[in-house]
A and B are shown apart, each in its own frame.
Chain A
């Protein structure tokens, strides 16, 4: 019998008991005694005896309204005795005798209940349906109706009844139970959305739930059902509905308190209205029983281990399956951090490793692999983790570690199911590390142990390739030839033949290469490696002075290339040859064709740049301008297209250039020649859109700045950058503009404003090639504020975390000077020495570095060494006056410290003789030192 129906019993007793006692007060004394005895039997649970006694009693009295409750009680007694046939008869009898009686509706309801309990489901359902419109009995009727339908196997109708009971909002504890039943039925039916909808309703009214523990169980079961049917989103929602141990204890305790308060309220009501004692006592008995059950449940629950880690584990799996791997990492970490013991730790740690590897966090994954192999060495996933540990190290590019880990697993887990894979990867690891002899040995180990392994063919081929990758072309050639002969059906045949041609190229056997590549194309038409083979063919043609033949081959190569690398190589190789031939018309055609072939390639903007450049070389300046300007206009609003600035610079150059008056040139051209470059730039970039986007506006100003720079008008250049800074928000600028504007602001001593632009560059374009502007600028700002630790962090990040291209020199100098300011002399010295040694950086940075090396020596009291550095500055870097001035003073001071006063005097005088240094503060300092030296002599 379901719990819904079990609760029906009590409903009958309370109503009946109260009614009968009330009517018995006016009965005949003999009859009253008989009645009291019958009721005593009823109250003591002897329902069959009570029913018999009451039947005997009604046989002795005339049917009248006074005895109406007895007729009803007879039915109740049979009902409670479980004799539903007699109960139905008694309730029917009641209805015949008292069709309008106060218990007529209840009797009809009891008949329906009796039918349900005696498994007459069809009748019960029909009878219960009649009560749906009775507000008093509606909810109960619907619950019983659902029960009847469900027992009869009519699930859809049961669900319809439960839906009616639940409605839009759960109103009472009975309906709450119906809702829980309904959620389960929806889940069973596979209707996840509806099940969740009901579950949401339940949780909105959680205070009505009489058993939160059971509700938790329901949520978990539903979640598991969804999970098993791969409805991970629905499963996730269910698991999230599960209350934590603390929440359950609180909810259940609150409920017990609520029941206790009801008991106390009933007692107070009894004291105020003693006539209600029977009803209220019965109610309290039920409340006490509920309370006892609730307390038992709570005590039992409190003894159980927390459900939270098990739920978290499920949450983690759902996130993983939903491809929300970072979230899976968060959950698994939480389990490991919060629950130091328990069966969930192993699967959580395993899940964490897999998820971390998936989100490309090899270092973290590697640490967790170590932890797993330490804590769960004997567990079922240990073999997988062992394999993963090496694979993850390999993923991180740490080949040495990968080798060690794989070797350890081979020795610690000799029967690992991943043994073959590990042997194969060990070879690959050595191969990747460039240790080809070791790789060959590892591959041979593989073949020895797994001669028919799934990677055997590849391993054999890799052994052949080892000589080629080791640069031993002669060996490689013979090995490849042997391989080709021995493996005519190998999957690696196309690659082997291509590699053989590469060896021939290395041996300068260009004719052989050409023949091999041409044969290759015939033998493997449509092979994806064709682009590479054609590039090699082009190289062979070019190397053997057949440049004209090479060009179309390169073009075919880029057209068939499957990687950006091959595409760019061949395209620009063709371009290089055409430039060598001075065929700018063909260059324009080459890149125009490329744009047509690959309109979505990231190289398109560079291609347009080259078309423009080619047109300009041909004297077709207008055409070049139009083309460049057209492309700029197309991408001008997108700050992420950072090649736009490259085109702007080109356009500025084109606007400065004068158009050649060609024969077919026209009057318009001549007229345009007379147009000022700035006006021309405006005309070319004027947009069809009436309102410019902030990005476009900034780029137009940048174009003018570039124009000013080319025309050597630095004031105007700065003016436009200042206007960008004033009128355009950092969020609307491309990486290059952010860097340029910020540098301009810093040069204008506006560090706070500059910092905003640098910060935006750092945050929005961390991978841009311009991001080193930000590292340098922010470091410089911090340095000027004497926040040396912060400055050093920026400079070092700029040098170590990214590949600095634009500001490498400045970052190096910044780092060195900050180390000096921090008094970390050894590191500073090393850094300045590095800067000073770079030939390409010769100039002010060198002067500054040499001077600083002098300062470092001076700080150490090594005055002779210091002096040598200072002298190197004013002798070797005279162009850089600020450092020359400082170096003279440093040198003079060094002589003084060395006790060589005459040399010191000479040095200070030499500074003063240099007219270019007369305005420097060091000139005054030199005069002062000379006075002191004169006084001392």
Chain B
């Protein structure tokens, strides 16, 4: 397809005339902001829908010339996260699928919500035990994201696969690197959970306890990771034969996160725990 140059003459007018109610502003590397009524990708161009008076049309920009697109945050990110926290991965997957698809063409442009949505999709897939699909998507995120924190979160998606192949040292290496570098609470909470998983899989009970407990101690508000951490810590305590603490972790889980998928497992484990 032939690249079309942007119609520069129109731009000053457009900036003033376009409504910003549902705007998806293009911010060019020159600092110029273009208000659009919607954008689409056409090869290496980003096409913006614009209105001038009563008529509408499209202007195209080289993706490389765009600094950022100001997409509004998709509300489904929050609803999907909530569904995941409630242990409903299938519903979460259905919720987030279209968002991932919509933002996929813009994933190389700052401001796209693709990586965040795709990360949620990874969690949903993992929640449905679709590990291979989850890993593949995690790897795709890692290869494509620009934001280092999102890249770190994507790195963590590799851990499950590494644990399955018993590559524990690599899994721990990944988690430790994220723990060292990240400043985002949700990423850190996930990293400690994954590290706990890696240690638990090696039956290194006490180190697993210490890893999991980082979440309730320092990231108690990261409710998405709390159920994982509590269940993991209960299992690690069990391994240490510390039934009191194991029972406490499971009880906390069922009381504070009753709608999580882990709460159901916790209930069953509580019932089967020796008195």
Binding site for B on A (CB under 8 A): 240, 246, 315, 319, 326-327, 329-331, 333-334, 359, 361, 364, 639-640, 731, 762-764, 766-767, 790, 797
Chain A residue at minimum C-beta to C-beta distance from B265: A731
Q: Which of B213, B235, B242 has the most chain A CB atoms inside 10 A of its CB? A: B213
Tell me, rounded to whole Å, the shortest Cβ–Cβ distance linking B181 to chain A. 13
Considering only CB atoms, which chain A residue lies closest to B202 in the complex?
A793
The answer on a CB contact under 8 Å between A790 and B210 is no
**Contact of B241 with A by CB under 8 A:** yes
**What is the predominant secondary structure among interface residues of chain A facing chain B?**
helix
**Residues B239 and A766 in contact, CB atoms below 8 Å apart:** yes
Instruction: Please tell me if the beta carbons of B210 and A330 are within 8 angstroms of each other in the complex.
Output: yes
| A717 → B minimal CB distance (Å) | 26
A333 CA to B192 CA in the complex, in Å?
14
B218 within 8 A of A: yes
Interface stretch among B32-40, B112-120, B128-136, B266-274? B266-274
Taking a contact as CB atoms under 8 Å apart, the answer to whether A326 and B210 are in contact is yes
Q: Which residues of A contact B242 (CB under 8 A)?
A: 359
Q: Are A326's CB and B245's CB within 8 A?
A: yes
Take A240-B220, A246-B183, A731-B272 as given contacts and tell me if A329 and B166 are in contact as well, using a CB distance cutoff of 8 Å.
no
For residue B32, give the distance in angstroms from its CB to the closest CB of chain A: 21
Q: Is the CB of A640 within 8 A of B274?
A: yes
Q: Which B residues lie within 8 Å of A763 (CB)?
A: 235, 238-239
Shortest CB distance A305–B (Å): 19
Find the B residue at minimum CB distance from A327.
Answer: B217
Given A640-B274, A766-B241, A767-B241, A797 and B203 contact (CB-CB distance below 8 Å): yes
Chain A residues closer than 8 Å to B274, beta-carbon distance: 640
Given A330-B218, A334-B214, A640-B272, 15 more contacts at CB 8 Å? Answer: A240-B220, A315-B217, A326-B209, A327-B217, A329-B210, A330-B213, A330-B214, A331-B217, A361-B206, A640-B273, A731-B272, A763-B239, A764-B272, A766-B238, A797-B203
B272 touches A327 (CB 8 A): no
What distance in Å separates the Cβ of B163 from its nearest Cβ neighbour in chain A?
A: 13
Q: Considering only CB atoms, which chain B residue lies closest to A641 in the complex? A: B274
Which residues of chain A come closer than 8 Å to B220, judged between CB atoms? Answer: 240
Give residues in B with beta carbon < 8 Å to A. Answer: 166, 183, 203, 206, 209-210, 213-214, 216-218, 220, 235, 238-239, 241-242, 245, 268-269, 272-275
Cβ of B226 to closest chain A Cβ, rounded Å: 14
Minimum distance in angstroms from B171 CB to a CB of chain A: 15
CB distance from A245 to the nearest CB of B (A): 12
Ordered nearest first, which 3 A-B pairs have the shortest CB separation?
Answer: A640-B274, A330-B213, A330-B217
Docked complex Cα distance between A797 and B203 (Å): 10
Rounded to whole Å, the gap between the CB of A885 and the closest CB of chain B is 36
Are B216 and A327 in contact, CB atoms less than 8 angstroms apart?
Answer: yes
Residues of A within 8 A of B166 (CB): 790
B210 touches A333 (CB 8 A): yes
Nearest residue, chain B, Cβ from A729: B268
How distant is the Cα of A766 from the Cα of B204 in the complex, in angstroms?
13
Kindly provide the distance from the CB of B220 to the nearest chain A CB, expressed in whole angstroms.
7
Closest residue of A by beta carbon distance from B183:
A246
Whether the pair B217, A319 counts as a contact (CB closer than 8 A) is: yes
Please give me the residue from chain B that is nearest to A762 by CB atom.
B203
Shortest CB distance A645–B (Å): 16
> How far apart are the CA atoms of A790 and B183 in the complex, in Å?
36
**Can you pick out 24 interface pairs between chain A and chain B where the beta carbons lie within 8 Å of each other?**
A240-B220, A246-B183, A315-B217, A319-B217, A326-B209, A327-B213, A329-B210, A330-B213, A330-B214, A330-B218, A333-B210, A334-B214, A359-B242, A361-B206, A639-B272, A640-B272, A640-B275, A731-B272, A763-B235, A763-B239, A764-B238, A766-B238, A766-B239, A797-B203
Q: How far is the CA of A600 from the CA of B148 in the complex (A)?
A: 59
Contact between B268 and A731 (Cβ–Cβ < 8 Å)?
Answer: yes
Q: A residues within 8 A CB of B218? A: 330, 334
CB-defined contacts of A331 to chain B, threshold 8 Å: 217
Give the CA-CA distance A790 to B203 in the complex, in Å: 13
Whole-angstrom CA separation of A762 from B269 in the bound complex = 14
In Å, the complex CA distance between A334 and B217 comes to 11
Q: Bound complex: CA of A319 vs CA of B210, how far in Å?
A: 14
In the complex, what's the smallest C-beta–C-beta distance from B251 to chain A, in angstroms? 14
Contacts of B216 in A (CB 8 A): 327
Cβ-neighbour of B213 out of A315, A326, A640 (below 8 A) = A326
**With a CB–CB cut-off of 8 A, which chain A residues contact B238?**
763-764, 766
Collect the chain A residues with CB atoms within 8 Å of residue B272's CB. Answer: 639-640, 731, 764
Q: How far is the CA of A246 from the CA of B269 in the complex (A)?
A: 40
Q: List, in ascending order, chain B residues with CB within 8 A of A766's CB.
A: 238-239, 241
A764 to B220, CA, bound (A): 27
* Residues in B neighbouring A330, C-beta threshold 8 A: 210, 213-214, 217-218
Please, how many angstroms separate the alpha-carbon atoms of A403 and B116 in the complex? 58
Find the A residue at minimum CB distance from B211: A330
Determine the chain A residues whose CB is within 8 A of the CB of B206 once the complex forms: 361, 364
Which residues in B have their C-beta under 8 angstroms from that of A334? 214, 218
| Measured CA separation A329–B217 after assembly (Å) | 10
CA gap between A677 and B203 in the complex, in Å:
44
Bound-complex Cα distance A361 to B206 (A): 8
Which among A327, A333, A361, A762 has the highest number of chain B CB atoms within 10 Å? A327
Q: Bound state CA distance, A772 and B230, in angstroms? A: 28
CB contacts (< 8 Å) of A762 on chain B: these are: 203
Q: Which of A326, A639, A763, A766 has the most CB of B within 10 A?
A: A326
Residues of chain A within 8 A of B210, CB atoms compared: 326, 329-330, 333
Which B residues are CB-close (under 8 A) to A333? 210
| Docked pose: A290 CA to B248 CA in angstroms | 49
* Contact residues in B for A790 (Cβ distance below 8 Å): 166
Which of B206, B217, B275 has the largest count of A CB atoms less than 10 A from its CB?
Answer: B217
Please name all residues of chain B whose beta carbon is closer than 8 Å to the beta carbon of A327 when the two chains form the complex: 213, 216-217
CB distance from A789 to the nearest CB of B (A): 9
A700 to B190, CA, bound (A): 44
Q: With a CB–CB cut-off of 8 A, which chain A residues contact B209? A: 326
Question: How many angstroms between the C-alpha atoms of A766 and B275 in the bound complex?
Answer: 15
Alpha-carbon gap, A762 to B205, bound state (A): 13
| Complex Cα–Cα for A359 and B61 (A) | 62
The CA-CA distance from A270 to B213 in the complex, in Å, is: 56
Q: Which of A240, A330, A331, A639 has the most CB of B within 10 A?
A: A330
Residues of B within 8 A of A319 (CB): 217
Measured between alpha carbons, how far is A679 from B166 in the docked complex, in Å?
A: 48
A359 — which chain B residues lie within 8 A by C-beta? 242
Chain B nearest CB from A667 CB (Å) reads 44
- CA separation between A329 and B207, bound complex, in Å? 11
Q: How far is the CA of A330 from the CA of B207 in the complex (A)?
A: 10
Residue of A nearest to B221 (CB): A240
Chain B residues with Cβ below 8 Å from A764 are 238, 269, 272
Q: What residue in chain B is nearest A801 (Cβ atoms)? A: B203
Chain B residue nearest to A642 in the complex (CB): B274
Residues of B within 8 A of A240 (CB): 220
**Alpha-carbon separation in the docked complex, A359 to B213 (Å):** 14
Min CB–CB distance A323 → chain B (angstroms) = 10
B273 to chain A: which residues have CB within 8 Å?
640
CA distance A240 to B238 in the complex (A): 28
A423–B52 alpha-carbon span in the complex (Å): 94
Q: Which residues on B sit within 8 Å (CB–CB) of A364?
A: 206
Which residues of B are found within 8 Å of A767, using beta-carbon distances?
A: 241
CA distance A762 to B239 in the complex (A): 9
Complex-state Cα separation, A764 to B239, whole angstroms: 8
CA of A334 to CA of B210, assembled, Å: 10
Give the distance in Å from the alpha carbon of A639 to the alpha carbon of B274 in the complex: 9
What's the nearest-Cβ distance from chain A to residue B273, in Å? 7
Q: Could you say which residues of chain B place their CB within 8 Å of the CB of A326?
A: 209-210, 213, 245
A334→B166 CA distance, assembly (Å): 28
Q: Which residue of A lies closest to B237 (CB)?
A: A326
CA gap between A240 and B209 in the complex, in Å: 21
Q: How far is the CA of A731 from the CA of B272 in the complex (A)?
A: 8
Bound: A129/B209 CA distance, A? 56
CB distance from A528 to the nearest CB of B (A): 26
What separation, in Å, do the CA atoms of A167 and B235 have in the docked complex?
43
Q: Which residue of B lies closest to A695 (CB)?
A: B272
Q: How far is the CB of A790 from chain B (nearest CB, A)?
A: 6
